[in-house]
A and B are shown apart, each in its own frame.
Chain A
Amino acid sequence: MEGSVAVDVAVGDAAGPVRARRRLAIRPLLKPKILIGGAIVLTLIVAGALAPWLAPFDPNAQNLDLALKPPQWLLGPHVLGTDAVGRDIFSRLFYGARVSLVIAVMVVLISGVIGVALGAISGYFAGIVDFLIQKAVEVVWAFPPLLLAIAIMAFLGQGLGNLILALVMQRWISYCRVARGQALSLRTREFVDAARALGASNTRIIVRHIVPNLFQSAVVIGTFAMASAIISEASLSFLGLGVPPEIPTWGSMLADGRTYISTSWWLALFPGLCIFFTVLGINLLGDGLRDLLDPRLKRSGTGMG
């Protein structure tokens, strides 16, 4: 059913144990959401990966004589204009794509691994382990989202590693909760008893039987988490708490452009558009994937992970 949405459910799959890897037919992939979203995301990946070859200028090459030039579009070398120290905006957008991509992927992977692991453990073992882990989840979750990241960045200082840490700190919770819910229901299934009877260790049970069931929800959560990671990185850079200045990011370009907003509007417009379209693409793709992979999986429809 297209576009169904609601709330996460602790799905106990009546069909039984591990879902076999589903063959995805090609036809359903051609839905507009997936096409458009996929195209945008693909463009992002290509732009980021091939930045050194696609960008006309070195993103850090300054030219004070050409500072704050408006976009020349197709009439000149500086297609989208230059910034306050004469760097080419168009080129910086490519490299910014790179950074956004790297950060988003890393944040999603790390928080996904941590979240799923902790959630599976929490749900499988239940009892005191579950209680402790869930208390940690509550504490971290009770922090208003941006606040924790701001605190970490303000206190640890600039740096790619610190930024990723700050962004991971609250994102693992989404994975954890869903994983826990599913693990909790799965642990009472017959196949788990069977595996245990056959002598499988807890670790093996978790890794071989429980985690694969969580994979699909994780993917869905992951796409939306990517979108929100990009926006959070931009917000932090905007507040001056992002990566050091030699790394171009869309967020810091936005922050830099803010002081020039009324006189050199192109500094802030283009990075913002990039952020917007990237996030839009990811959301479209995520939505489409979700419809495809598990239309029965009720989700919260927030889109912001």
Chain B
Amino acid sequence: MSWKRSAIAFAAALAAFGANAQTATAGGRVAVGVTETIASYDPYADSVSLAYGIWCQVLGCLGVYDFSKSDYVGMLAESWEVDKADPTIWTFHLKHGLKRQNDGKELTADDVVFSFNRVNTDPASQQKQNVAPVKEMTAVDKYTVRVVTKVPTASLLEYLFDRFIITGKDLYEKYGASQADRKYLWGWGPYKLQELQIGQRIVLEKDPNNPQVKPENPDTIIFTIMREPEQRVTALLNNEIQIAEFIPPQLAQRVREAKNAKLVESSSVEIMFLAMSPKYKPWDNVKLRQAVCYAINRDAIIKSILSGQADRLDGPIGPAQYSYNADYAKKNLYIPYDPAKAKELVKESGYKGEPVDLYTPVGRYIDDKEVTQAMIPMLNAVGINARLRTPEWATMWADVQKGKTAFYYMGRGSVVDPSPALSQYFETGGSPRIGMSDPGIDKALAAERVEFDPASRKKDLNVAFKAIEDASPACFMWSHRMLHGISNAIEFEPDPTGRIFGTHIVVKQ
């Protein structure tokens, strides 16, 4: 009998040793260096890209925008349609039989409606804007949700997909908000929340029962907050992390030269622009505003300061974004670098040479101070007496929000369907940031908002782009290319929103 026991013991030891060997090679564990933080256990209390990316894959979203298909695809929702008679009524059909992590409870329409109510009523909620167009949501039956919008909104999916997080009604009611958030963040996504340490890291674990996951997806994903780019690059090169988010252009070469990692570029969905508020002199003159657009040599700035890691924007959006039409942009939206024409426009505008201040944040966008610094002599060269101002972000943002800044460099992120962003900045009453009021822009934006046929809507959006450029409340600069450092041990194509989904990562064997 004793040899049997020793055999078993030996086998057990072997198994244990084998198990150790597996963890020693860290198979299936991927660490990601990220820049943003999640500040709360409440999934509705943050509004940063990282939070949406994590909660969508842990708790679940109705759907996401799939850049490879250039269209929206359902995640918790199977399909959806707009009522032909009344375009304010949308119907979402949920997938059947979606089992929750840990307890297997099925997703129902009640959970969706509950989540909608929670977004609007949770005191810590910072996500109300994501459901702003929705007047009411009701559960028609177990798997069907009826959404009624306040006005016909063709861009509804830009609001509801990717950013509307679905949580369970029963857990919330049973345990109360704070317990439910701290201990019972169970959802219908492919990854479970293993650990959340505010300001430090978030650890996710694959839910093997979820149909979306494949065996080659990582078992564990660790999001480590590393705000300094140097820190991320060093960690990548030391194999501490396998994905380093957002490499700035000046560190790109280091990652390219690394033996254990490669640099992966992709377009982003953030647009950079110079805003000019017509409420303030001398920016009330459209010719002066147009002059600025011709005065800036964008290609030179992209080449030298941004190391080529940006795509010039012809029109408000770039190729990765919804409704982009390369031909139309080239023919109708492209503004060349033409200092002679800019000088002429400046003269025609009657600008008297009074000093104007260009405001820029520092360190908020890639090389923001450097690119705006380079713009100053370009503006001076065409006769615009410009000076650079670099206020602290809090001060600058306060002023911009109140509409007190006349001329500034700014970015707008998360622009997939451009409708909400354009409306916010350029429509009458959209927000005080520029204070633009142009009937051509208003008409064009109103038209695209109620056009539900995708092909027609894309045309309408391009018409709106032209209207915006003609009225020129802003000069569109570029959209930064997103650079990620990816370890050779995995395969991963970054998504232009910057979100990192475990189901997109393949661990090489």
- A contacts B directly in the complex (CB < 8 Å)? yes
Contact at B389–A65, with CB atoms within 8 Å?
A: no
Closest-CB distance, A252 to chain B (whole angstroms): 9
- The distance in angstroms between the C-alpha atoms of A262 and B250, with both chains bound, is 9
**Which residues of chain A are within 8 angstroms of B248 by Cβ–Cβ distance?**
259
**Which residues of chain A are within 8 angstroms of B233 by Cβ–Cβ distance?**
262
Contact at B230–A85, with CB atoms within 8 Å?
A: no
Contact at B388–A244, with CB atoms within 8 Å?
A: yes
Contact at A158–B391, with CB atoms within 8 Å?
A: yes
Contact at A62–B373, with CB atoms within 8 Å?
A: yes
Contact at A62–B390, with CB atoms within 8 Å?
A: no
Given that A259-B250, A262-B251, A263-B250 are known contacts, is A65 also in contact with B388, CB under 8 Å in the complex?
Answer: no
The answer to whether A84 has its CB under 8 Å from any CB of chain B is yes
Contact at A261–B230, with CB atoms within 8 Å?
A: yes
The answer to whether A102 has its CB under 8 Å from any CB of chain B is no
**Which residues of chain B are within 8 angstroms of A65 by Cβ–Cβ distance?**
304
Chain B count of residues within 8 A CB distance of the other chain: 29
**Which residues of chain B are within 8 angstroms of A241 by Cβ–Cβ distance?**
392
Neighbour of A64 across the interface among B253, B300, B369, CB < 8 A = B300
Contact at B390–A64, with CB atoms within 8 Å?
A: no
Contact at B250–A62, with CB atoms within 8 Å?
A: no
State which residues 355-399 of B face A: CB under 8 Å: 362-363, 367, 369-370, 373-374, 377, 387-392, 394-395
- The distance in angstroms between the C-alpha atoms of A84 and B305, with both chains bound, is 6
- The distance in angstroms between the C-alpha atoms of A261 and B233, with both chains bound, is 13
Q: In terms of DSSP, what is the predominant structure of the interface of chain A? A: loop
Neighbour of B389 across the interface among A158, A260, A261, CB < 8 A = A158
- The distance in angstroms between the C-alpha atoms of A86 and B371, with both chains bound, is 12
Q: Identify the interface centre among B230, B250, B300: most chain A CB within 10 Å of its CB.
A: B250
Q: In terms of DSSP, what is the predominant structure of the interface of chain B? A: helix
Among residues of A, the one whose C-beta sits closest to the C-beta of B373 is: A85
- The distance in angstroms between the C-alpha atoms of A68 and B303, with both chains bound, is 13
Among residues of A, the one whose C-beta sits closest to the C-beta of B366 is: A259
Closest-CB distance, A83 to chain B (whole angstroms): 8
**Which residues of chain B are within 8 angstroms of A85 by Cβ–Cβ distance?**
305, 370, 373-374
- The distance in angstroms between the C-alpha atoms of A62 and B305, with both chains bound, is 12
- The distance in angstroms between the C-alpha atoms of A100 and B233, with both chains bound, is 34
Contact at A240–B362, with CB atoms within 8 Å?
A: yes
Task: Annotate B193-235 by CB proximity to A: 1 below 8 A, 0 otherwise.
Answer: 0000000000000000000000000000000000001100100
Contact at A263–B253, with CB atoms within 8 Å?
A: yes
The answer to whether A223 has its CB under 8 Å from any CB of chain B is no
Contact at A157–B391, with CB atoms within 8 Å?
A: yes
Contact at B388–A246, with CB atoms within 8 Å?
A: yes
The answer to whether A111 has its CB under 8 Å from any CB of chain B is no
**Which residues of chain A are within 8 angstroms of B388 by Cβ–Cβ distance?**
244-246
The answer to whether B254 has its CB under 8 Å from any CB of chain A is yes
Contact at A263–B370, with CB atoms within 8 Å?
A: no
**Which residues of chain A are within 8 angstroms of B447 by Cβ–Cβ distance?**
none
Closest-CB distance, A80 to chain B (whole angstroms): 18
- The distance in angstroms between the C-alpha atoms of A64 and B363, with both chains bound, is 20
Among residues of A, the one whose C-beta sits closest to the C-beta of B253 is: A263
- The distance in angstroms between the C-alpha atoms of A62 and B395, with both chains bound, is 28
The answer to whether B421 has its CB under 8 Å from any CB of chain A is no
- The distance in angstroms between the C-alpha atoms of A84 and B249, with both chains bound, is 12
The answer to whether A169 has its CB under 8 Å from any CB of chain B is no
- The distance in angstroms between the C-alpha atoms of A158 and B395, with both chains bound, is 11
Given that A157-B395, A241-B392, A244-B390 are known contacts, is A262 also in contact with B230, CB under 8 Å in the complex?
Answer: yes
Closest-CB distance, A67 to chain B (whole angstroms): 5
- The distance in angstroms between the C-alpha atoms of A261 and B390, with both chains bound, is 21
- The distance in angstroms between the C-alpha atoms of A245 and B303, with both chains bound, is 23
Contact at B250–A260, with CB atoms within 8 Å?
A: yes
State which residues 51-69 of A face B: CB under 8 Å: 62, 64-65, 67-68
Q: Identify the interface centre among B230, B233, B300, B369: most chain A CB within 10 Å of its CB.
A: B369
Task: Annotate A248-290 by CB proximity to B: 1 below 8 A, 0 otherwise.
Answer: 0000000010011111100000000000000000000000000
Could you write out 26 A-B pairs with CB less than 8 Å apart? A62-B373, A62-B374, A64-B300, A64-B303, A64-B305, A65-B304, A85-B305, A85-B373, A157-B395, A158-B389, A240-B362, A240-B363, A240-B390, A240-B392, A245-B369, A245-B373, A246-B387, A246-B388, A256-B369, A256-B370, A259-B229, A260-B250, A261-B230, A262-B254, A263-B251, A264-B250
> A67-B304, A85-B305, A262-B251 are known contacts; what are 6 more A-B pairs with Cβ within 8 Å?
A68-B250, A84-B305, A245-B389, A245-B390, A259-B248, A259-B367
What 6 A-B pairs come out closest when comparing CB atoms?
A64-B304, A84-B370, A67-B304, A85-B374, A245-B388, A263-B250
